[in-house]
């Protein structure tokens, strides 16, 4: 099956999703019913067993969400996530062109990359025949998003996004601000200046930009600045609603 997020981005459309680090197939269904395009299942900070992760991916497909997993560089993590059936990966702290090249290598089958092959896994339809046709399409279908969230990555932005196979440069405002020395958050003017400079550079390179949002105003502003892949932060938004309802009562 094709990856509708990649298709929308190619057609110049914006996409909206949700990032989430808790195991809840019910929330995945809610996001699908609400009409979001994708879910980023957060296995960088979140808490999942491998089979829970596979259930989250499976549920996403039932409600037409594109499942992307945020995982680490470890080659076996990228391999396992893709074998579970993720339609994309999002990798934190990609700081150099070499980092980006390694990610692409791990996500693509030979000869383009060094992804290991197993036809018996969920992604490949559990069989030899389905596996072969899956393999033909997988390299094009898999979406690769890399976090730009350190001063080093900001410096190397153009080189990182020039690596063939990188689809999205994802600004992680929380990590970026902390890595710039501002623990009080991404609202600091210097952090905002750096973020705006990345959007400006992205227009020249043509790379798709991603980031997070925690309100409808945030989402609109991210699209306005030039992001086309924006994910709302599921648990932070739930918590904000719980707080507001109680305080407002
Ligand atoms: C950040 O804001 O640092 C992120 O990684 C977004 O989830």
DSSP states along 142-174: -EEEEEE-SHHHHHTHHHHHTSTT--EEEE-HH
Instruction: Taking residues 59-85, report their average pLDDT.
Output: 94
Q: Would you say 32 and 62 are in contact if contact means Cβ atoms under 8 Å apart?
A: yes
pLDDT at 96: 98
Instruction: Taking residues 173-187, report their average pLDDT.
Output: 91
Dihedral (CA of 87, 176, 48, 227) sign: negative
pLDDT at 191: 95
pLDDT at 185: 80
**4-24 pLDDT per residue, tens:** 999 999 999 999 999 999 999
Which residues carry out catalysis? 45
Q: At what angle do helices 75-84 and 50-62 cross, to 10 degrees?
A: 40
pLDDT at 183: 86
- Ligand 1 closest atom vs CA 212: 6
Q: How far is the CA of 243 from the centre of ligand 1 (A)?
A: 22
ipTM of the complex: 0.93
- Ligand 1 closest atom vs CA 19: 7
Closest CA to 142 of 168, 108, 183: 108
Residue 113 buriedness (CB in 10 A; 0-12 / 13-18 / 19+): middle
Pocket test for ligand 1, best of 186, 187, 212, 222 (most atoms within 8 A of CB): 212
pLDDT at 131: 82
Q: How far is the CA of 135 from the centre of ligand 1 (A)?
A: 31
Average pLDDT, the chain: 95
**94-103 pLDDT per residue, tens:** 999 999 999 9
List of domains in the chain: 4-248 (3.20.20.60)
**147-157 pLDDT per residue, tens:** 999 999 999 99
pTM metric for this prediction: 0.96
Pocket test for ligand 1, best of 17, 90, 146, 149 (most atoms within 8 A of CB): 149
pLDDT at 41: 98
pLDDT at 134: 87
Instruction: Taking residues 55-68, report their average pLDDT.
Output: 98
Task: Provide the percentage of residues in the chain whose pLDDT is more than 70.
Answer: 100
- Residue 29, pLDDT > 90, answer yes
- Residue with CA nearest ligand 1 atom 4: 172
Q: Which residue has the higher pLDDT, 128 or 89?
A: 89
pLDDT at 135: 85
Strand partners, 68: 40, 88
Q: How far is the CA of 146 from the centre of ligand 1 (A)?
A: 11
- Residue with CA nearest ligand 1 atom 5: 172
Q: How far is the CA of 134 from the centre of ligand 1 (A)?
A: 31
- Residue 125, pLDDT > 80, answer yes
Q: How far is the CA of 219 from the centre of ligand 1 (A)?
A: 15
- Residue 249, pLDDT > 80, answer no
Residues with C-beta less than 6 Å from any ligand 1 atom: 19, 147, 149, 172-175, 212
């Amino acid at each position: 099956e094709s990856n509708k997020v990649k298709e929308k981005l190619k057609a110049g459309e914006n996409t909206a999703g949700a990032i989430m680090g808790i195991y809840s197939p019910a929330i995945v269904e809610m996001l699908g019913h609400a009409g979001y395009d994708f879910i980023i299942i957060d296995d960088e900070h979140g808490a999942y067993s491998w089979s829970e992760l596979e259930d989250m991916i499976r549920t996403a497909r039932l409600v037409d969400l594109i499942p992307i997993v945020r995982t680490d560089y470890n080659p076996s993590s990228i391999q396992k996530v893709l074998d579970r059936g993720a339609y994309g990966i999002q990798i934190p702290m990609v700081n150099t062109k070499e980092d980006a090249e390694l990610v692409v290598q791990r996500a693509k089958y030979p000869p383009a990359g060094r992804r290991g092959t197993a036809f018996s896994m969920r992604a490949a339809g559990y069989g030899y025949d389905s596996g072969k046709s899956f393999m033909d399409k997988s390299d094009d279908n898999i979406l690769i998003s890399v976090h730009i969230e350190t001063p080093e990555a900001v410096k190397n932005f153009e080189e990182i996004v020039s690596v063939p196979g990188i689809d999205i440069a994802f600004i992680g405002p929380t990590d970026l601000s902390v890595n710039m020395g501002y623990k009080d958050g991404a609202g600091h003017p210097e952090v905002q200046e750096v973020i705006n400079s990345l959007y400006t550079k992205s227009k020249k390179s043509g790379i798709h930009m991603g980031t997070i949002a925690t309100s409808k105003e945030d989402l609109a502003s991210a699209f306005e600045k030039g992001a086309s892949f924006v994910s709302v932060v599921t648990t932070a938004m739930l918590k904000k609603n719980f707080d507001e309802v109680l305080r407002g009562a």
